Structure 1
Amino acid sequence: MRSQTSRPHHASTSAPIVRVRRRLLLRELSNPRLVVSHISPNWFASVMGTGIVANAAATLPLIAPQLHAFASVVWVVATVLLLGLIAASAAHWVVHREVARSHHRHPVMVHFYGAPPLAILTIGAGALLFGPDIIGSDAALTVALVLWSIGTVLGLATAVIVPFLTFTSSSVTDQSAFGGWLMPVVPPLVSAAAGAPLIPFLPAGEARLTMLLACYAMFGLSMIATAVILPLIWGRLARHNIGNSAAVPTLWIVLGPLAQSITAAIVLGAVAPVAVSADLAEFLGFAGIIYGIPTLGFALLWTALAIAMTVHTARRGLPFSLTWWSFTFPVGNMVVALSVLAFATGSAVLEVMALLSFVALVGAWVLVAVRTFNGSVIHGTLFLAPPVTADAGKPTAPSAPAA
């Protein structure tokens, strides 16, 4: 009898092939819930960088009316982004409280607590510019006042708390200074500039005078602090060179207080007549121009240095991180400063400089926004854990791995 040899039935014995469908979004995250696991304060720089594009467009000489629709859309996008980040930050504090509480102990991350109030103030300033056409004049004024108040309180808090934490930290050395040190002291300066347009809406008399004096006091707070910090940054660069490539974009932050102070000096002088005597108002208006032009000179010097250092570093490799948003907000501040100076002086040269700077701003914003969207929404790598330490003398950028 012929033996019958059984043959394997491949269709019935082989393991079934399981096709895993790759996610279209958050591709690199093992679990979508990790989106809120490391929402750090520096994420709010994306709101700052987006909002300033809208605000800068509204101040441009000659073509501001033609850009109003574009700027309005960008402001709405920035507002939605702010609300989303506030919600994500709240979820982060609830679900990952220990990680959230560790940020203030990080020698680099702690300085970016200035970003949330800056983001709030940027959106609040835009509310007066774009809000009336979207939500009505009364609602827009209310939103602007509320956001200015919240941003100012938070900004004054960071201006005190963050330097205190720095002064009492054992990890700070003479090599630690970097552009981010300016972040916690800049919000009061933005409050000064953003508060000026609100003064005419206040009751005449003591309320307007108090607001004007408070804005000038916050102007002095930020600029004197900036005058203390700038030599530390310059000295570190001279003694220890540029340092960590990931932190190079933060050198552009220096432009922020310089340009914002020009804007504050000009706009406060412009609204002074509704709060003080005619003679004092005339002096304040003149003082704003006298301050603004020399400060612009140093701002342009630093712009040239920042460009040179960025190009020098890019040749060796400049990894993408959230610090790239430093290419947007400070440049936007320069656009606004050039625009208000051009209006105050009638200079056609400054008008052209403002327009060219705006083109550069939009280009930088598109680049950084696309890279951020790709690294966060598409791949999710920007939601991974930031570093927990910083190398002394070579500040590590507070961001996730490069996307």
Structure 2
Amino acid sequence: MSRPRFFEISRTFAPGWFAAVMGTGVLALSTRGLAAHWPALLLPAQLLHWFNVGLFCLLALPWLTRWLRFPAAALQTLQHPVQASFYPTFSIALLVLAAQWLQFTSWTGVALVFWWGGVGLHFTFSFVVLFFVFRGEQVTVDHVTPAKFIPAVGLVVMPLAGAPLLAHVGDGLREWMLTINLIGLGAGSMMYLGLLGMTLQRQYLHKPAQGILTPTVWIHLAPIGVIPVSLMNLVEQLPWPALRDVAALLMALVWGFGVWWLVMATLLTLAARAAGQLPFALSWWGFTFPLGAFAGESLRLHALFGWASFLVVATLAWALLCGLWATTAWRTARGAIGGGIFAPHP
């Protein structure tokens, strides 16, 4: 097979590529969090940060080219009952980069640019993607997978960087940013609760998502990991200290569900692999961001409670994340060099 030209890559460029930026970014952030306990991890975390910035720039070129040169193909994907849910990975990648710039540099202006860009694009994607879903008749139970969480995940990701950035803006803008963060967290959390019921219904009553969709079972860990951390970030910006104790308890309870789901997702993935139902695809990046979000939540709970159990779970989740990220990155790079990974999927 000959390597495709940039023209061909852009025309069929899959919207889910930016899950790689999300996964790499959360690996950088969780590695930096663990560097507080093992300082030797600080340099790898910084290298991952800058690598991810370069990765985003590299992937943005064919993504934007597709919209400019092949708008019909891009719009067709936007109306697809499965592929459309992956378009918001671009805006979530911007929000993750905002969190990275805030953690790894002192350039809060750059973090604000990424955050505002991510917020604007993600609200747009959340409305457009779900508008086509609500107005169309193409969605069936076969299309209901945790990938449907992606628009909701982006909404709840907003306060991860958005809340800490409130300290770097004026009072007038601060109020508007706080309001936007509350809207994102509220909308995304309620959407997750509804979609959670739908996906569990499929798990109970319908055939499971298999093949390249197998990794989507891990996406549950993304809202489980992000929602409590975003809630705590916002509570810390409000003038009611008592709310922090309530938020910490809710955070720990949701984390408990995350531990349970981590084991279940592992068992389902191992079963799919044993049955030969786990072919490599870009969807493997679906392992990474959710797992990193859960590791970050565990680290935050360790900081709040001081319990060694939270740190142990965080470290185990991070170690698994490292292995899955390295495997997925290697196979993605090999597929990109050979050109096979750019072949469009039905």
The alignment's TM-score, normalised by the length of structure 1, stands at 0.82
Q: CA deviation at 1:30?
A: 5.5
1:52 aligns with 2:26: yes
- The letter of the residue matching 1:255 is L
More helix by share: 2
Could you tell me which of 131, 148, 152 is aligned with 1:181? Answer: 148
What is the distance in 1 between the residues matched to 2:280 and 2:250?
36
- Secondary structure of the residue aligned to 2:13 is coil
* 1:244-259 correspondence runs (5 A): 244-259=210-225
**In the superposition, relative to structure 1, how do residues 118 and 32 fare at CA in structure 2: closer, same or farther (>3 Å)?**
closer
Tell whether the 8 Å contact from 1:242 to 1:309 is kept in structure 2 after alignment: no
- After superposition, give the CA deviation of every residue in 1:222-280 in whole Å (9 maximum; x if it has no partner): 1110000011001011111313322110111111011001211222233x2xxx43xx1
What is the distance in 1 between the residues matched to 2:271 and 2:103?
38
Bigger mean CA offset, 70-79 vs 241-250: 241-250
Q: CA deviation at 1:339?
A: 0.6
- Secondary structure of the residue aligned to 1:264 is helix
What is the distance in 1 between the residues matched to 2:40 and 2:233?
23
**In the superposition, relative to structure 1, how do residues 352 and 61 fare at CA in structure 2: closer, same or farther (>3 Å)?**
farther
What is the distance in 2 between the residues matched to 1:97 and 1:212?
35
* 1:9-158 correspondence runs (5 A): 28-29=2-3, 31=5, 33-60=7-34, 62-63=36-37, 65-131=39-105, 137=106, 140-158=107-125
1:239 aligns with 2:205: yes
- The letter of the residue matching 1:93 is W
Q: CA deviation at 1:95?
A: 3.5
The alignment's TM-score, normalised by the length of structure 2, stands at 0.95
What is the distance in 2 between the residues matched to 1:209 and 1:291?
25
What is the distance in 2 between the residues matched to 1:82 and 1:121?
12
Which residue is equivalent to 2:335?
375
- The letter of the residue matching 1:219 is L
Question: Runs (4+) of structure 1 moved beyond 6 Å?
Answer: none
State the identity as a percent: 28
* 1:254-269 correspondence runs (5 A): 254-269=220-235
- Secondary structure of the residue aligned to 1:46 is helix
Tell whether the 8 Å contact from 1:196 to 1:212 is kept in structure 2 after alignment: yes
- Secondary structure of the residue aligned to 1:351 is helix
Q: CA deviation at 1:101?
A: 2.3
**In the superposition, relative to structure 1, how do residues 149 and 32 fare at CA in structure 2: closer, same or farther (>3 Å)?**
closer
Contiguous gaps of at least 5 residues in structure 1: 1-26, 132-136, 388-403
Q: CA deviation at 1:343?
A: 0.3
- After superposition, give the CA deviation of every residue in 1:91-131 in whole Å (9 maximum; x if it has no partner): 22333333222111211111111100111111111001112
Could you tell me which of 156, 160, 163 is aligned with 1:193? Answer: 160
Tell whether the 8 Å contact from 1:155 to 1:185 is kept in structure 2 after alignment: no
Tell whether the 8 Å contact from 2:102 to 2:161 is kept in structure 1 after alignment: no
Greater gyration radius: 1
Tell whether the 8 Å contact from 1:61 to 1:343 is kept in structure 2 after alignment: no
- The letter of the residue matching 2:205 is R
Could you tell me which of 327, 343, 346 is aligned with 1:384? Answer: 343
- After superposition, give the CA deviation of every residue in 1:127-163 in whole Å (9 maximum; x if it has no partner): 01112xxxxx3xx211100100010111112222211
